[in-house]
Structure 1
Amino acid sequence: MRTILVVGGGYAGFYAAWGLERKLRRDEARVIMVDPRPYMTYQPFLPEVLAGSVEARHAAVSQRRHLKKTTIISGTVVRIDHAARAVTIRPAEGPEYLLGYDVIVVTAGAVTRKLAVPGVADQAIGLKHVEEAVAIRDRLLTAFDRAATLPPGPRRRRLLTVTFVGGGFSGVEGFGELLSLAHALVRRYPELDPAELGFHLVEARDRILPEVSDKPGRWVVRSLEKRGAHVHLGAQVRSARDGHVVLSTGAEFDSDLIVWTAGNAANPMVHNHTDLPIDARGMLVVRADLRVGTADAPVPDAWGAGDDAAVPDLAAGDGRATVPNAQHAVRQGKLLARNLIADLRGRRTKEYFHRSLGTVATLGLGRGIFEWKFIVIKGFPAWLMHRGYHVLAVPSWERKVRVLLIWVAAALFGRDIVSLASVQHPRRAFVAGGEPEPVLATADRSGEG
């Protein structure tokens, strides 16, 4: 029986394994998936996890609950030797080992693009995983509690200042949702003045949301600024040492919370530790039918999809690759499963072709933007479209129902504003033995340690 190895359990990998499970005949092949996390993160819900509109666990889809026929290995593939049909796996526990396969599916995803900016590695939090979204939310809630005990001044302003670096979808949606949460919070703290809130969105380009056209993008900027935000376009972060943010425009301010969403970078394993072909950006070279290789030089028994693969965008017709988003990754994962099975059974494969269904983004509770061709919808209707689309798109009826119930509860009773930052240090109260717990220093509130 052939072994199909799926590297990575994100959108493309999860849907590829799910499709293989459903379509493979008994004893036709076995599927193994390797991923360091036991769940697939539904990333479009991360901004709502920030705001408390979606429970953290509801943005995570359990692999073992849904992939009942797949062997799941908790670990990371650190090297692919396709010539030998083997990978090196670094498991969650124990030494590295080799695992052989017959067919490989590379869906390892991308990583957050980091720049060598002083202080960022020590201060910033990313926004690609559920744990990061929870940490950001708890940091903001804890900052409000601490600020309410201080007199007006620089220390209080720093606690109430939030900086997002990166004006793509992840950054703008997270920024808008956290801004909405902050305005809801400040009404419950009579000690604080709403004017003390400082929300900064920093983008190196001269516009945000490159997936939408110029006019809607400018409207989003105006909308955020009307809510008290500071949008810095054409600006780069020069330094963030000790939370003191210095921009290339000359602006400087202290920020207790810095969120880094400045785009994606090639997966280091795909870029540096495989004999499969990659392009100049470090992305896997993939044909339109999702086989690895080119039309003239396909690589046998190797497939790829998702954010780590340069899949030709046939709908655009200009030689570009598909943009790295959930809309493409989900559909590529489903097609990859169908094509791989067709190849196993000697049938023809199909090329990936998908026209965009439009672009929709949340900008905070009751606010959104939708664009499809020449149609632009703003405000509350766009926000409803965003919620409707994603509750339909999240995998499994179980998750759909849970998310809907949370939204109904929030509409009836409002946001839950309890911080659980202490769970990031579960032994502190036990070790303290009833003594007053120390106030966390700025460098110790990252959720690490």
Structure 2
Amino acid sequence: MPKILIVGGGYAGFYTAWKLEKQLRRGEAEVTVVDPRPYMTYQPFLPEIAAGSIDPRHSVVHLRSHLTKTKVITAAVTGVNHASKKATITPAEGEAYDLDYDIIVMTAGSVSRTFPIPGVADEAIGMKNIEEAVAVRDRVLTNFDKAAQLPAGPERDRLLTFVVIGGGFAGIETFAELRSFASALVRRYPEISFEDTHFHLIEAMGRIMPEVSLKTSHWVLKNLAQRGAQVHLDTQLTSAVGGKIELSTGETFESDLIVWTAGVMAHPVLRNTDLPTEERGRLRVQSDLRVINDDGIVADAWGAGDVSAVPDDTGKGVGGFCVPNAQHAVRQGKLLSKNIVATLRGEGVKKYFHQPAGAVAGLGLGVGVFQKGKLGITGFPAWVMHRGYHGLAMPTWERKIRVIGNWVLNLFLGRDFASLQDVETPRVAFETYASRPRPAAPVEPEPVVKAPARTRAKAVAK
């Protein structure tokens, strides 16, 4: 059987494998998915996870539970030699090894793109995976607990100052959700007033959310300002060393939480392959998702999602390519499975063409924005549309039920405000109080008994 290797179990990879299971005939091909994480993360929910509105486990899809006919390898692909059709698999434990394949599907996704700004690599955290969103949530909660015990002063201000870098969809959603989260927390901490909390979003461009109209973006800015959140436009972060924020405007302040959302880049695994890439480091593919080079199609190689430069034939893409979002990755994964099956059966393939369904964002409980062409909807109706769209877009009915059920329960029970930050050091409590064996008592040397002088004399005489 042909061996199909899917590199990456995110949106595009998961949907490719999921649909292949339904479309392939018995014995037609063998499918393997390799990803360092054993689950797919539904990234549009990360801001709500950071704000305590969704249980983290409900926003992930366990690969082995839903890919029942696919071989799942929890490891990293650290290299690909397509000329010999071998991929280097590096597990968390054990030695790296080579895996043979016949067809490769590159869906490794993207990682946070940062710039060499002093302090960012040491102090900031991204918003690309579930672990980061949970860590942000726990940091906010823990900082409130600490600040409630401190008098007014620089350290208290530092704990209650939160910074987000980047004014795109991911940054604005994260920023607004955290502002909503903190506003709800203030009601439970009488020691902390609303005015004690400080939220700053840093955006180098002159506007936010380029996916929506200028009018809609202005409404978002006004709404955030009314909620006590400050947006710095035309401003660059110049330093974050030790948590001290220095801006290009000359303004400085300190923060204990810096969230970086200023762009993404193709997964670096492409640097260790012989597959063709374009100037931004993305995999070169044509509209039917087959990999291409200067000579044409690269046989048995496919790509989709954030790792690939997929042409946007609607003419609406940035630079002529599809923007890196879930809406495109999911649909590309579905088409990719159909095209692979068609190729195996000697049939024709189809080009990827998708008219965007619109842009929708949640800005905290009860607040959202929606943009479709010139139509812009703001406030509560857009928030309902946001939840409705993403609730239905979540893969598998089992996950949909969990997420929507979580939302319904929150209407009656409210958010969960318990911090689990100590999960990062789970053995501290046990080690602190665990009984240990007493150190062995020192062994006393046996006393040397000297013989009487007369006995010694006799011994010498003998």
> TM-score if structure 2 supplies the norm length?
0.92
TM-aligned CA distance change 1:348 to 1:81, over 3 Å: same
d(CA) in 1 for partners of 2:230, 2:392: 34
Q: Where do residues 167-182 of structure 1 align in structure 2 (5 Å cutoff)?
A: 167-182=167-182
> Which moved further from structure 2: 119-128 or 137-146?
119-128
Mapped pair 1:393 → 2:393: yes
d(CA) in 1 for partners of 2:325, 2:408: 28
d(CA) in 2 for partners of 1:339, 1:108: 19
The one-letter code sitting in structure 2 at the alignment partner of 1:277 is P
Q: Give the match's secondary structure for 1:376.
A: strand
Mapped pair 1:202 → 2:210: no
State the match for 1:382 in structure 2: 382
d(CA) in 1 for partners of 2:384, 2:108: 32
- How far apart are 1:200 and its partner, in Å? 0.5
The one-letter code sitting in structure 1 at the alignment partner of 2:145 is D
Mapped pair 1:290 → 2:289: yes
On the 8 A contact 2:213/2:374 being kept in 1, the answer is no
The one-letter code sitting in structure 2 at the alignment partner of 1:261 is T
Q: Give the match's secondary structure for 1:89.
A: strand
d(CA) in 1 for partners of 2:107, 2:434: 48
Computing the radius of gyration from Cα coordinates, the structure with the larger value is 2
d(CA) in 2 for partners of 1:76, 1:96: 9
d(CA) in 2 for partners of 1:276, 1:122: 32
d(CA) in 2 for partners of 1:85, 1:13: 19
Q: Where do residues 124-163 of structure 1 align in structure 2 (5 Å cutoff)?
A: 124-163=124-163
State the match for 1:228 in structure 2: 228
The one-letter code sitting in structure 1 at the alignment partner of 2:161 is T
- How far apart are 1:278 and its partner, in Å? 0.6
TM-aligned CA distance change 1:84 to 1:434, over 3 Å: closer
- How far apart are 1:158 and its partner, in Å? 0.8
Q: Give the match's secondary structure for 1:22.
A: helix
d(CA) in 2 for partners of 1:294, 1:384: 44
The one-letter code sitting in structure 1 at the alignment partner of 2:41 is T
Q: Give the match's secondary structure for 2:249.
A: coil
- How far apart are 1:91 and its partner, in Å? 1.1
Cα deviation, 1:334-377, whole Å, max 9, x if unaligned, reads 00000000011000000000000000001111000000011110
On the 8 A contact 2:235/2:249 being kept in 1, the answer is yes
State the match for 1:424 in structure 2: 424
Q: CA RMSD in A?
A: 1.3
State the match for 1:61 in structure 2: 61
State the match for 2:244 in structure 1: 244
State the match for 1:323 in structure 2: 323
d(CA) in 1 for partners of 2:189, 2:140: 13
Mapped pair 1:433 → 2:433: yes
> TM-score if structure 1 supplies the norm length?
0.95
Identity of aligned residues (%): 58
d(CA) in 1 for partners of 2:393, 2:193: 39
The one-letter code sitting in structure 2 at the alignment partner of 1:141 is L
Q: Give the match's secondary structure for 1:220.
A: helix
Mapped pair 1:402 → 2:402: yes
- How far apart are 1:317 and its partner, in Å? 6.6
**Where do 5+ consecutive residues of structure 2 fail to align?**
436-462
The one-letter code sitting in structure 1 at the alignment partner of 2:55 is E
On the 8 A contact 1:287/1:294 being kept in 2, the answer is no
- How far apart are 1:266 and its partner, in Å? 2.3
- How far apart are 1:300 and its partner, in Å? 0.4
The one-letter code sitting in structure 1 at the alignment partner of 2:421 is A
State the match for 1:21 in structure 2: 21
Q: Give the match's secondary structure for 1:281.
A: coil
On the 8 A contact 2:266/2:308 being kept in 1, the answer is no
- How far apart are 1:116 and its partner, in Å? 1.1
On the 8 A contact 1:307/1:329 being kept in 2, the answer is yes
- How far apart are 1:99 and its partner, in Å? 0.6
The one-letter code sitting in structure 1 at the alignment partner of 2:71 is T
On the 8 A contact 2:172/2:209 being kept in 1, the answer is yes
State the match for 1:105 in structure 2: 105
- How far apart are 1:379 and its partner, in Å? 0.3
- How far apart are 1:248 and its partner, in Å? 0.8
Q: Give the match's secondary structure for 2:83.
A: helix
Q: Give the match's secondary structure for 2:76.
A: strand
Q: Give the match's secondary structure for 2:403.
A: helix
d(CA) in 1 for partners of 2:217, 2:376: 11
State the match for 1:278 in structure 2: 277
**Where do 5+ consecutive residues of structure 1 fail to align?**
436-449
- How far apart are 1:128 and its partner, in Å? 0.5
Cα deviation, 1:287-323, whole Å, max 9, x if unaligned, reads 1000000696000000000001011100117860100
d(CA) in 2 for partners of 1:221, 1:108: 34
On the 8 A contact 1:204/1:235 being kept in 2, the answer is yes
On the 8 A contact 1:287/1:295 being kept in 2, the answer is no
- How far apart are 1:411 and its partner, in Å? 0.4
d(CA) in 1 for partners of 2:226, 2:434: 46
> Which moved further from structure 2: 391-400 or 425-434?
425-434
Cα deviation, 1:135-165, whole Å, max 9, x if unaligned, reads 0000000000100000111111111100001
Kindly tell me the number of residue pairs found equivalent between the two proteins: 434
Q: Where do residues 329-348 of structure 1 align in structure 2 (5 Å cutoff)?
A: 329-348=329-348
State the match for 1:90 in structure 2: 90
On the 8 A contact 2:276/2:293 being kept in 1, the answer is no
d(CA) in 1 for partners of 2:100, 2:112: 30
Mapped pair 1:40 → 2:34: no
- How far apart are 1:62 and its partner, in Å? 0.6
d(CA) in 2 for partners of 1:195, 1:406: 31
d(CA) in 1 for partners of 2:65, 2:171: 31
Cα deviation, 1:259-304, whole Å, max 9, x if unaligned, reads 111100122111x111111101111000100000069600000000
Q: Give the match's secondary structure for 1:83.
A: coil
On the 8 A contact 2:311/2:320 being kept in 1, the answer is yes
Q: Give the match's secondary structure for 2:392.
A: helix
On the 8 A contact 1:243/1:255 being kept in 2, the answer is yes
d(CA) in 1 for partners of 2:133, 2:159: 18
State the match for 1:301 in structure 2: 300
d(CA) in 1 for partners of 2:134, 2:380: 26
d(CA) in 1 for partners of 2:281, 2:212: 26
